[in-house]
Chain A
Amino acid sequence: MNRRVRSATDRWIRGLRAARRMEPRSIGRQIVTYAISLAVLLLAWEIASLVVNRSLPPPTGGIQHAKILPGPFEALSQLVKNAAELQRHFLSSAWRLLLAMLIALFTAVPIGLALGRERGLDRYLSPIVYITYPIPQVALILFFFVVFGTGSATKVAMVALVLFFQILVSARGAAKNIDEEHITSVLSAGASRWQVYRHVILPATLPDVLTSLRVSIGLGMAFLYIAETSAAFGKGLGGFIKDRMLFQREQAFAGIIAMAILGLGLYVAVDIVERIVCRWKHVRRRPS
Protein backbone atom coordinates (compact mmCIF):
# COMPACT_ATOMS: atom_id res chain seq x y z
CA MET A 1 0.00 0.00 0.00
CA ASN A 2 1.18 3.52 -0.74
CA ARG A 3 2.90 5.07 2.29
CA ARG A 4 0.76 8.21 2.19
CA VAL A 5 -2.50 6.21 1.98
CA ARG A 6 -1.32 4.02 4.85
CA SER A 7 -0.52 7.06 6.98
CA ALA A 8 -3.94 8.63 6.25
CA THR A 9 -5.66 5.33 7.09
CA ASP A 10 -3.70 5.09 10.34
CA ARG A 11 -4.79 8.60 11.24
CA TRP A 12 -8.48 7.76 10.74
CA ILE A 13 -8.15 4.52 12.69
CA ARG A 14 -6.44 6.38 15.55
CA GLY A 15 -9.20 9.03 15.41
CA LEU A 16 -11.94 6.39 15.53
CA ARG A 17 -10.22 4.66 18.43
CA ALA A 18 -9.94 7.95 20.27
CA ALA A 19 -13.59 8.75 19.56
CA ARG A 20 -14.52 5.32 20.87
CA ARG A 21 -12.36 5.81 23.94
CA MET A 22 -14.29 9.00 24.60
CA GLU A 23 -17.62 7.23 24.30
CA PRO A 24 -18.36 5.41 27.57
CA ARG A 25 -18.27 8.52 29.78
CA SER A 26 -19.19 11.35 27.45
CA ILE A 27 -21.86 9.42 25.49
CA GLY A 28 -23.37 8.10 28.73
CA ARG A 29 -23.54 11.64 30.08
CA GLN A 30 -24.98 12.90 26.79
CA ILE A 31 -27.69 10.22 26.74
CA VAL A 32 -28.81 11.23 30.25
CA THR A 33 -28.83 14.95 29.26
CA TYR A 34 -30.79 14.22 26.09
CA ALA A 35 -33.27 11.97 27.99
CA ILE A 36 -33.95 14.72 30.56
CA SER A 37 -34.34 17.37 27.82
CA LEU A 38 -36.69 15.07 25.88
CA ALA A 39 -38.83 14.43 28.99
CA VAL A 40 -39.09 18.20 29.65
CA LEU A 41 -39.98 18.82 26.00
CA LEU A 42 -42.67 16.12 25.92
CA LEU A 43 -44.15 17.43 29.16
CA ALA A 44 -44.25 21.00 27.81
CA TRP A 45 -45.81 19.73 24.57
CA GLU A 46 -48.47 17.74 26.48
CA ILE A 47 -49.32 20.78 28.65
CA ALA A 48 -49.49 23.05 25.57
CA SER A 49 -51.72 20.51 23.83
CA LEU A 50 -54.10 20.33 26.82
CA VAL A 51 -54.29 24.14 27.07
CA VAL A 52 -54.81 24.72 23.32
CA ASN A 53 -57.40 21.96 22.91
CA ARG A 54 -59.51 23.25 25.84
CA SER A 55 -60.97 25.83 23.48
CA LEU A 56 -62.43 23.08 21.26
CA PRO A 57 -66.27 22.79 21.22
CA PRO A 58 -67.70 19.62 22.86
CA PRO A 59 -68.26 16.58 20.61
CA THR A 60 -71.32 16.90 18.41
CA GLY A 61 -73.38 13.80 17.50
CA GLY A 62 -70.69 11.63 19.12
CA ILE A 63 -68.03 12.97 16.74
CA GLN A 64 -64.90 14.39 18.35
CA HIS A 65 -63.47 17.53 16.70
CA ALA A 66 -59.94 17.21 15.37
CA LYS A 67 -57.40 18.50 17.88
CA ILE A 68 -55.74 21.81 17.12
CA LEU A 69 -52.49 20.59 18.68
CA PRO A 70 -52.20 16.80 19.07
CA GLY A 71 -50.35 15.56 22.15
CA PRO A 72 -46.90 14.00 21.91
CA PHE A 73 -48.07 10.45 22.62
CA GLU A 74 -50.70 10.58 19.85
CA ALA A 75 -48.01 11.80 17.44
CA LEU A 76 -45.58 9.11 18.61
CA SER A 77 -48.22 6.39 18.18
CA GLN A 78 -48.82 7.66 14.61
CA LEU A 79 -45.06 7.57 14.06
CA VAL A 80 -45.02 3.87 14.92
CA LYS A 81 -48.21 3.11 12.92
CA ASN A 82 -46.92 4.87 9.80
CA ALA A 83 -43.32 3.78 10.22
CA ALA A 84 -43.01 2.18 6.77
CA GLU A 85 -44.40 5.17 4.88
CA LEU A 86 -42.52 7.67 7.03
CA GLN A 87 -39.29 5.77 6.48
CA ARG A 88 -39.59 6.28 2.70
CA HIS A 89 -40.18 10.02 3.13
CA PHE A 90 -37.45 10.23 5.77
CA LEU A 91 -34.83 8.63 3.51
CA SER A 92 -35.85 10.86 0.63
CA SER A 93 -35.47 14.04 2.72
CA ALA A 94 -32.29 12.74 4.34
CA TRP A 95 -30.46 12.17 1.08
CA ARG A 96 -31.58 15.54 -0.30
CA LEU A 97 -30.26 17.31 2.79
CA LEU A 98 -27.06 15.27 2.87
CA LEU A 99 -26.39 15.87 -0.82
CA ALA A 100 -27.05 19.60 -0.40
CA MET A 101 -24.67 19.71 2.58
CA LEU A 102 -21.93 17.95 0.61
CA ILE A 103 -22.38 20.18 -2.46
CA ALA A 104 -22.26 23.30 -0.25
CA LEU A 105 -19.23 22.02 1.65
CA PHE A 106 -17.18 21.09 -1.41
CA THR A 107 -17.94 24.34 -3.25
CA ALA A 108 -18.02 26.88 -0.41
CA VAL A 109 -14.92 25.73 1.48
CA PRO A 110 -12.38 26.12 -1.37
CA ILE A 111 -13.89 29.46 -2.44
CA GLY A 112 -14.13 30.73 1.16
CA LEU A 113 -10.54 29.74 1.94
CA ALA A 114 -9.25 31.31 -1.28
CA LEU A 115 -11.15 34.55 -0.54
CA GLY A 116 -9.77 34.56 3.00
CA ARG A 117 -6.17 34.13 1.94
CA GLU A 118 -5.78 35.60 -1.57
CA ARG A 119 -6.07 39.35 -1.20
CA GLY A 120 -6.54 40.09 -4.92
CA LEU A 121 -9.34 37.55 -5.26
CA ASP A 122 -10.99 38.82 -2.08
CA ARG A 123 -10.94 42.41 -3.33
CA TYR A 124 -12.90 41.57 -6.48
CA LEU A 125 -15.10 38.63 -5.43
CA SER A 126 -16.12 39.48 -1.86
CA PRO A 127 -18.33 42.42 -2.90
CA ILE A 128 -20.27 40.01 -5.15
CA VAL A 129 -20.67 37.59 -2.24
CA TYR A 130 -21.81 40.30 0.16
CA ILE A 131 -24.29 41.74 -2.34
CA THR A 132 -25.86 38.34 -3.06
CA TYR A 133 -25.65 36.97 0.51
CA PRO A 134 -28.52 39.05 2.00
CA ILE A 135 -30.93 38.20 -0.87
CA PRO A 136 -33.53 35.87 0.67
CA GLN A 137 -32.86 32.67 -1.27
CA VAL A 138 -36.49 31.63 -0.80
CA ALA A 139 -37.41 34.46 -3.21
CA LEU A 140 -35.62 32.48 -5.93
CA ILE A 141 -37.68 29.33 -5.46
CA LEU A 142 -39.92 29.89 -8.51
CA PHE A 143 -36.85 30.56 -10.62
CA PHE A 144 -35.39 27.26 -9.39
CA PHE A 145 -38.57 25.42 -10.37
CA VAL A 146 -38.31 26.90 -13.86
CA VAL A 147 -34.65 25.93 -14.21
CA PHE A 148 -34.53 22.55 -12.46
CA GLY A 149 -38.16 21.40 -12.69
CA THR A 150 -40.22 20.22 -9.72
CA GLY A 151 -38.14 17.18 -8.84
CA SER A 152 -35.42 16.63 -6.27
CA ALA A 153 -32.87 18.77 -8.13
CA THR A 154 -34.71 22.00 -7.20
CA LYS A 155 -34.97 21.02 -3.55
CA VAL A 156 -31.30 20.04 -3.33
CA ALA A 157 -30.19 23.18 -5.20
CA MET A 158 -32.30 25.41 -2.96
CA VAL A 159 -30.86 23.99 0.27
CA ALA A 160 -27.31 23.83 -1.15
CA LEU A 161 -27.50 27.53 -2.07
CA VAL A 162 -28.55 28.51 1.45
CA LEU A 163 -25.83 26.41 3.08
CA PHE A 164 -23.26 27.58 0.52
CA PHE A 165 -23.39 31.17 1.78
CA GLN A 166 -23.29 30.17 5.46
CA ILE A 167 -20.22 27.98 4.98
CA LEU A 168 -18.52 30.40 2.56
CA VAL A 169 -18.72 33.33 4.97
CA SER A 170 -17.52 31.19 7.85
CA ALA A 171 -14.61 29.64 5.88
CA ARG A 172 -13.50 33.07 4.63
CA GLY A 173 -13.54 34.51 8.16
CA ALA A 174 -11.68 31.51 9.59
CA ALA A 175 -9.02 31.71 6.85
CA LYS A 176 -8.46 35.41 7.58
CA ASN A 177 -7.92 34.75 11.29
CA ILE A 178 -5.24 32.08 10.96
CA ASP A 179 -2.24 32.67 13.19
CA GLU A 180 0.40 34.02 10.78
CA GLU A 181 3.12 32.22 12.75
CA HIS A 182 1.74 28.91 11.46
CA ILE A 183 2.03 30.12 7.88
CA THR A 184 5.54 31.51 8.43
CA SER A 185 6.50 28.25 10.10
CA VAL A 186 5.68 26.09 7.04
CA LEU A 187 6.88 28.68 4.52
CA SER A 188 10.29 28.78 6.20
CA ALA A 189 10.38 24.98 5.94
CA GLY A 190 10.01 25.35 2.17
CA ALA A 191 6.27 24.73 1.72
CA SER A 192 4.66 25.49 -1.65
CA ARG A 193 1.39 27.44 -1.81
CA TRP A 194 -0.57 24.20 -2.18
CA GLN A 195 1.24 22.73 0.87
CA VAL A 196 0.34 25.84 2.92
CA TYR A 197 -3.33 25.16 2.11
CA ARG A 198 -3.03 21.44 2.85
CA HIS A 199 -0.97 21.61 6.05
CA VAL A 200 -2.15 24.90 7.59
CA ILE A 201 -5.18 26.64 6.10
CA LEU A 202 -7.47 23.63 5.71
CA PRO A 203 -6.80 22.00 9.11
CA ALA A 204 -6.83 25.36 10.93
CA THR A 205 -10.24 26.32 9.52
CA LEU A 206 -11.87 22.90 9.69
CA PRO A 207 -13.30 23.32 13.23
CA ASP A 208 -14.99 26.61 12.25
CA VAL A 209 -16.27 25.14 8.98
CA LEU A 210 -17.75 22.13 10.76
CA THR A 211 -19.32 24.36 13.43
CA SER A 212 -20.91 26.41 10.67
CA LEU A 213 -22.13 23.22 8.98
CA ARG A 214 -23.65 22.07 12.28
CA VAL A 215 -25.37 25.43 12.81
CA SER A 216 -26.61 25.37 9.21
CA ILE A 217 -28.41 22.05 9.65
CA GLY A 218 -31.42 23.82 11.21
CA LEU A 219 -31.49 26.36 8.39
CA GLY A 220 -31.11 23.59 5.80
CA MET A 221 -34.03 21.70 7.35
CA ALA A 222 -36.22 24.82 7.23
CA PHE A 223 -35.43 25.44 3.56
CA LEU A 224 -35.85 21.76 2.71
CA TYR A 225 -39.32 21.94 4.27
CA ILE A 226 -40.16 25.06 2.22
CA ALA A 227 -38.86 23.45 -0.98
CA GLU A 228 -40.67 20.16 -0.32
CA THR A 229 -43.96 21.86 0.50
CA SER A 230 -43.74 24.23 -2.46
CA ALA A 231 -43.56 21.34 -4.88
CA ALA A 232 -45.03 18.44 -2.95
CA PHE A 233 -44.57 15.89 -5.70
CA GLY A 234 -42.80 12.66 -4.91
CA LYS A 235 -41.50 11.69 -1.51
CA GLY A 236 -40.21 13.88 1.30
CA LEU A 237 -41.17 14.74 4.89
CA GLY A 238 -42.19 18.29 3.91
CA GLY A 239 -44.89 17.04 1.55
CA PHE A 240 -45.98 14.37 4.05
CA ILE A 241 -46.48 17.00 6.77
CA LYS A 242 -48.21 19.51 4.50
CA ASP A 243 -50.67 16.93 3.08
CA ARG A 244 -51.79 15.86 6.56
CA MET A 245 -51.75 19.13 8.50
CA LEU A 246 -55.44 19.92 7.95
CA PHE A 247 -57.25 16.64 8.51
CA GLN A 248 -54.71 14.13 9.92
CA ARG A 249 -52.84 16.40 12.24
CA GLU A 250 -51.51 13.56 14.48
CA GLN A 251 -49.77 12.09 11.41
CA ALA A 252 -48.44 15.52 10.44
CA PHE A 253 -46.87 15.84 13.87
CA ALA A 254 -45.41 12.34 13.48
CA GLY A 255 -43.73 13.75 10.36
CA ILE A 256 -42.44 16.71 12.36
CA ILE A 257 -40.92 14.28 14.89
CA ALA A 258 -39.27 12.43 11.99
CA MET A 259 -37.79 15.75 10.79
CA ALA A 260 -36.45 16.42 14.27
CA ILE A 261 -34.85 12.95 14.31
CA LEU A 262 -33.26 13.69 10.92
CA GLY A 263 -31.82 17.01 12.18
CA LEU A 264 -30.52 15.44 15.37
CA GLY A 265 -28.97 12.54 13.44
CA LEU A 266 -27.11 14.88 11.11
CA TYR A 267 -26.02 17.06 14.03
CA VAL A 268 -24.58 14.05 15.86
CA ALA A 269 -22.94 12.78 12.62
CA VAL A 270 -21.15 16.12 12.08
CA ASP A 271 -20.13 16.06 15.75
CA ILE A 272 -18.56 12.60 15.35
CA VAL A 273 -16.75 13.62 12.14
CA GLU A 274 -15.43 16.71 13.96
CA ARG A 275 -14.14 14.59 16.85
CA ILE A 276 -12.27 12.38 14.39
CA VAL A 277 -10.81 14.94 11.97
CA CYS A 278 -10.18 17.62 14.63
CA ARG A 279 -8.94 15.30 17.35
CA TRP A 280 -6.37 17.88 18.41
CA LYS A 281 -9.21 20.15 19.59
CA HIS A 282 -10.40 17.54 22.06
CA VAL A 283 -7.17 16.49 23.75
CA ARG A 284 -6.69 17.23 27.42
CA ARG A 285 -4.93 20.59 27.46
CA ARG A 286 -1.92 21.03 29.68
CA PRO A 287 -2.35 24.10 31.91
CA SER A 288 0.40 26.68 31.33
Chain B
Amino acid sequence: MIDVDGVTIEYGARDRRVRAVDGVTFRVGDGDSLALIGPSGCGKTTILFALAGLLPVAGGRLAIGGAEVRGPQRSVALILQNAGLLPWKTVWQNANLSLLLHGDYPKRTARDVLDELGLGTAARRYPAELSEGMKRRVGIARALSTSPAVMLMDEPLASLDTLTREKIQDLFLHLWREHRFSLVLVTHDIEEAAFLGRNVLVLTERPAQVKEIVPNPGMGERGYRETAAFRTVLGRLREALER
Protein backbone atom coordinates (compact mmCIF):
# COMPACT_ATOMS: atom_id res chain seq x y z
CA MET B 1 0.00 0.00 0.00
CA ILE B 2 1.26 3.44 -0.96
CA ASP B 3 -0.03 6.13 1.38
CA VAL B 4 0.45 9.79 0.50
CA ASP B 5 -1.21 11.99 3.09
CA GLY B 6 -1.17 15.79 2.80
CA VAL B 7 2.36 15.79 1.35
CA THR B 8 4.10 19.11 0.75
CA ILE B 9 7.45 19.31 -1.06
CA GLU B 10 9.66 22.40 -1.29
CA TYR B 11 12.78 23.26 -3.25
CA GLY B 12 15.61 25.74 -3.03
CA ALA B 13 17.83 27.41 -0.43
CA ARG B 14 16.53 28.16 3.07
CA ASP B 15 15.69 31.79 2.32
CA ARG B 16 14.21 31.13 -1.14
CA ARG B 17 11.95 28.11 -0.71
CA VAL B 18 9.66 27.29 -3.64
CA ARG B 19 6.66 25.07 -3.00
CA ALA B 20 6.38 22.39 -5.71
CA VAL B 21 3.70 20.15 -4.16
CA ASP B 22 1.02 21.38 -1.79
CA GLY B 23 -0.94 18.99 0.42
CA VAL B 24 -1.36 16.10 -2.03
CA THR B 25 -3.24 13.04 -0.75
CA PHE B 26 -3.85 9.68 -2.48
CA ARG B 27 -3.62 5.93 -1.86
CA VAL B 28 -2.60 3.05 -4.09
CA GLY B 29 -3.50 -0.45 -2.91
CA ASP B 30 -1.22 -3.48 -3.25
CA GLY B 31 -1.13 -4.58 -6.90
CA ASP B 32 -3.17 -1.55 -7.97
CA SER B 33 -2.21 1.20 -10.40
CA LEU B 34 -2.43 4.99 -10.48
CA ALA B 35 -1.54 7.45 -13.23
CA LEU B 36 -0.57 11.04 -12.44
CA ILE B 37 -1.26 13.68 -15.08
CA GLY B 38 -1.13 17.45 -15.05
CA PRO B 39 0.31 20.50 -16.84
CA SER B 40 4.04 20.48 -17.68
CA GLY B 41 6.22 21.36 -14.70
CA CYS B 42 3.35 21.04 -12.21
CA GLY B 43 5.26 18.70 -9.86
CA LYS B 44 4.30 15.19 -11.07
CA THR B 45 7.91 13.96 -11.18
CA THR B 46 8.61 15.62 -7.82
CA ILE B 47 5.93 13.44 -6.19
CA LEU B 48 7.36 10.34 -7.89
CA PHE B 49 10.94 11.15 -6.76
CA ALA B 50 9.70 11.66 -3.20
CA LEU B 51 8.06 8.21 -3.36
CA ALA B 52 11.39 6.81 -4.63
CA GLY B 53 13.08 8.31 -1.55
CA LEU B 54 15.13 10.77 -3.61
CA LEU B 55 13.50 13.95 -2.27
CA PRO B 56 12.52 14.80 1.30
CA VAL B 57 9.01 15.99 2.10
CA ALA B 58 8.48 19.29 3.93
CA GLY B 59 5.15 18.24 5.39
CA GLY B 60 2.62 15.42 5.50
CA ARG B 61 3.23 11.68 5.50
CA LEU B 62 4.55 9.44 2.76
CA ALA B 63 4.59 5.70 3.46
CA ILE B 64 5.06 2.49 1.49
CA GLY B 65 3.91 -0.79 3.03
CA GLY B 66 3.23 1.03 6.30
CA ALA B 67 6.80 2.30 6.68
CA GLU B 68 7.67 5.96 6.21
CA VAL B 69 9.84 6.63 3.14
CA ARG B 70 13.28 7.85 4.30
CA GLY B 71 15.41 6.97 1.27
CA PRO B 72 15.59 4.61 -1.71
CA GLN B 73 14.29 1.13 -0.91
CA ARG B 74 14.99 -2.14 -2.61
CA SER B 75 11.30 -2.96 -2.89
CA VAL B 76 10.68 0.22 -4.89
CA ALA B 77 11.87 0.44 -8.52
CA LEU B 78 12.01 3.62 -10.59
CA ILE B 79 11.94 3.74 -14.40
CA LEU B 80 13.12 7.09 -15.77
CA GLN B 81 12.19 8.98 -18.91
CA ASN B 82 15.06 7.72 -21.06
CA ALA B 83 15.30 4.42 -19.17
CA GLY B 84 18.26 5.83 -17.20
CA LEU B 85 20.69 3.38 -18.76
CA LEU B 86 24.40 3.91 -18.19
CA PRO B 87 26.04 4.09 -21.66
CA TRP B 88 29.29 2.51 -20.38
CA LYS B 89 27.58 -0.62 -19.07
CA THR B 90 26.33 -3.50 -21.20
CA VAL B 91 22.69 -4.57 -21.31
CA TRP B 92 23.47 -7.31 -18.76
CA GLN B 93 25.26 -4.92 -16.39
CA ASN B 94 22.51 -2.29 -16.72
CA ALA B 95 19.75 -4.82 -16.15
CA ASN B 96 21.47 -6.14 -13.03
CA LEU B 97 22.76 -2.83 -11.68
CA SER B 98 20.43 -2.81 -8.66
CA LEU B 99 21.53 -6.31 -7.69
CA LEU B 100 25.22 -5.53 -8.18
CA LEU B 101 24.97 -2.35 -6.10
CA HIS B 102 23.62 -4.43 -3.23
CA GLY B 103 26.44 -6.94 -3.60
CA ASP B 104 24.19 -9.70 -4.98
CA TYR B 105 25.43 -11.64 -7.95
CA PRO B 106 22.75 -11.83 -10.69
CA LYS B 107 20.76 -15.01 -10.42
CA ARG B 108 19.21 -17.17 -13.07
CA THR B 109 16.01 -15.07 -12.79
CA ALA B 110 17.86 -12.05 -14.21
CA ARG B 111 18.63 -14.02 -17.38
CA ASP B 112 14.98 -15.13 -17.47
CA VAL B 113 13.79 -11.51 -17.25
CA LEU B 114 16.04 -10.54 -20.19
CA ASP B 115 14.74 -13.51 -22.18
CA GLU B 116 11.15 -12.65 -21.27
CA LEU B 117 11.68 -9.13 -22.62
CA GLY B 118 13.38 -10.41 -25.80
CA LEU B 119 16.83 -9.10 -24.81
CA GLY B 120 18.63 -12.40 -24.27
CA THR B 121 20.79 -12.08 -27.38
CA ALA B 122 21.65 -8.42 -26.66
CA ALA B 123 23.09 -9.04 -23.19
CA ARG B 124 26.65 -8.01 -24.19
CA ARG B 125 25.69 -4.97 -26.25
CA TYR B 126 25.96 -1.36 -25.12
CA PRO B 127 22.91 0.96 -25.01
CA ALA B 128 24.19 2.93 -28.04
CA GLU B 129 23.77 -0.24 -30.11
CA LEU B 130 20.08 -0.64 -29.18
CA SER B 131 16.88 0.80 -30.63
CA GLU B 132 14.83 3.14 -28.41
CA GLY B 133 12.29 0.37 -27.78
CA MET B 134 15.03 -2.05 -26.67
CA LYS B 135 16.49 0.59 -24.32
CA ARG B 136 13.13 0.97 -22.60
CA ARG B 137 12.90 -2.81 -22.22
CA VAL B 138 16.35 -2.87 -20.58
CA GLY B 139 15.06 -0.21 -18.17
CA ILE B 140 12.09 -2.46 -17.38
CA ALA B 141 14.41 -5.46 -16.92
CA ARG B 142 16.47 -3.48 -14.41
CA ALA B 143 13.34 -2.48 -12.51
CA LEU B 144 12.10 -6.08 -12.41
CA SER B 145 15.47 -7.54 -11.37
CA THR B 146 14.81 -6.91 -7.67
CA SER B 147 11.20 -8.21 -7.82
CA PRO B 148 9.83 -4.88 -6.53
CA ALA B 149 6.53 -4.43 -4.71
CA VAL B 150 6.20 -0.91 -6.10
CA MET B 151 7.02 0.26 -9.62
CA LEU B 152 7.36 4.00 -10.24
CA MET B 153 7.51 5.24 -13.83
CA ASP B 154 8.42 8.76 -14.92
CA GLU B 155 7.13 9.25 -18.47
CA PRO B 156 8.76 5.96 -19.47
CA LEU B 157 7.52 6.04 -23.06
CA ALA B 158 8.15 9.68 -23.95
CA SER B 159 9.64 10.26 -27.43
CA LEU B 160 8.73 6.78 -28.73
CA ASP B 161 6.77 6.31 -31.94
CA THR B 162 3.08 5.35 -31.55
CA LEU B 163 3.43 1.67 -32.45
CA THR B 164 6.42 1.05 -30.18
CA ARG B 165 4.70 2.98 -27.39
CA GLU B 166 1.55 0.85 -27.65
CA LYS B 167 3.62 -2.36 -27.74
CA ILE B 168 5.46 -1.36 -24.54
CA GLN B 169 2.20 -0.24 -22.89
CA ASP B 170 0.86 -3.77 -23.59
CA LEU B 171 4.09 -5.17 -22.13
CA PHE B 172 3.67 -3.03 -18.97
CA LEU B 173 0.13 -4.30 -18.57
CA HIS B 174 1.25 -7.90 -19.00
CA LEU B 175 4.07 -7.49 -16.46
CA TRP B 176 1.80 -5.66 -13.99
CA ARG B 177 -0.67 -8.57 -14.11
CA GLU B 178 2.11 -11.17 -13.93
CA HIS B 179 4.27 -9.63 -11.18
CA ARG B 180 1.46 -7.94 -9.19
CA PHE B 181 3.42 -4.82 -8.20
CA SER B 182 1.74 -1.51 -7.32
CA LEU B 183 2.22 0.90 -10.20
CA VAL B 184 2.48 4.70 -10.12
CA LEU B 185 2.87 6.21 -13.56
CA VAL B 186 3.65 9.84 -14.37
CA THR B 187 2.73 10.79 -17.92
CA HIS B 188 1.63 13.73 -20.04
CA ASP B 189 -0.22 11.42 -22.42
CA ILE B 190 -3.88 11.02 -21.37
CA GLU B 191 -4.29 7.85 -23.48
CA GLU B 192 -1.39 6.24 -21.65
CA ALA B 193 -2.85 7.34 -18.31
CA ALA B 194 -6.25 5.86 -19.21
CA PHE B 195 -4.66 2.63 -20.48
CA LEU B 196 -2.42 1.93 -17.48
CA GLY B 197 -4.04 3.71 -14.51
CA ARG B 198 -6.86 2.05 -12.53
CA ASN B 199 -7.29 5.56 -11.16
CA VAL B 200 -6.04 8.73 -12.82
CA LEU B 201 -5.06 11.62 -10.58
CA VAL B 202 -5.24 15.03 -12.25
CA LEU B 203 -2.99 17.70 -10.73
CA THR B 204 -3.29 21.49 -10.82
CA GLU B 205 -0.62 23.96 -11.99
CA ARG B 206 2.38 24.36 -9.63
CA PRO B 207 2.28 24.02 -6.69
CA ALA B 208 0.63 20.69 -7.44
CA GLN B 209 -2.66 19.98 -5.70
CA VAL B 210 -5.15 17.21 -6.43
CA LYS B 211 -7.71 18.56 -8.89
CA GLU B 212 -9.63 15.31 -9.40
CA ILE B 213 -9.25 11.56 -9.18
CA VAL B 214 -10.90 9.89 -12.18
CA PRO B 215 -11.76 6.22 -11.61
CA ASN B 216 -11.03 3.91 -14.55
CA PRO B 217 -12.53 0.52 -13.65
CA GLY B 218 -12.35 -0.89 -17.19
CA MET B 219 -8.54 -0.59 -17.28
CA GLY B 220 -6.82 -3.86 -18.16
CA GLU B 221 -9.75 -5.32 -20.12
CA ARG B 222 -8.94 -6.98 -23.42
CA GLY B 223 -9.05 -4.48 -26.31
CA TYR B 224 -9.70 -1.64 -23.84
CA ARG B 225 -8.34 1.02 -26.23
CA GLU B 226 -11.25 0.36 -28.63
CA THR B 227 -14.04 0.51 -26.02
CA ALA B 228 -16.53 3.31 -25.38
CA ALA B 229 -15.53 3.29 -21.67
CA PHE B 230 -11.93 4.16 -22.66
CA ARG B 231 -13.13 7.11 -24.76
CA THR B 232 -15.37 8.29 -21.92
CA VAL B 233 -12.42 8.29 -19.52
CA LEU B 234 -10.35 10.21 -22.09
CA GLY B 235 -13.10 12.81 -22.34
CA ARG B 236 -13.28 13.20 -18.55
CA LEU B 237 -9.51 13.57 -18.29
CA ARG B 238 -9.37 16.19 -21.05
CA GLU B 239 -12.17 18.09 -19.38
CA ALA B 240 -10.44 17.94 -15.98
CA LEU B 241 -7.16 19.18 -17.47
CA GLU B 242 -8.83 22.08 -19.31
CA ARG B 243 -10.91 23.16 -16.34
Contact = CB atoms under 8 A, between A and B. Distances in A.
Interface stretch (B127-135, B219-227, B229-237): B127-135
Contacts of B172: none
Contacts of B35: none
- Main SS class of interface, B: loop
Interface in B127-171: 127-132, 142
B114 interface: no
Interface stretch (A85-93, A163-171, A278-286): A278-286
Contact of A189 (B98, B127, B131): B98
Interface in A246-288: 278-280, 283-286, 288
B6 interface: no
A203 B97 CA distance: 15
Given A181-B84, A284-B129, A286-B128, A195 B78 contact: no
A199 B72 contact: no
Contact of A285 (B49, B52, B98, B129): B129
A182 interface: yes
A208 B97 CA distance: 24
B80 A285 contact: no
Nearest to A284: B129
B177 interface: no
B86 A203 contact: yes
B107 interface: no
- Main SS class of interface, A: helix
Interface string A90-133: 00000000000000000000000000000000000000000000
Given A186-B97, A190-B101, A283 B82 contact: no
How many B residues are at the interface, by size bracket? 20 to 34
A182 B86 contact: yes
Contacts of B87: 280
Contact of A188 (B54, B105, B125): B54
Contact of A200 (B72, B74, B82, B86): B86
A193 interface: no
A188 B72 contact: yes
Contacts of B78: 184-185, 188-189
B126 interface: yes
Given A189-B98, A204-B88, 15 more contacts: A3-B105, A181-B84, A184-B49, A185-B84, A186-B86, A188-B54, A188-B72, A188-B77, A189-B142, A190-B72, A280-B87, A280-B126, A280-B127, A286-B130, A288-B131
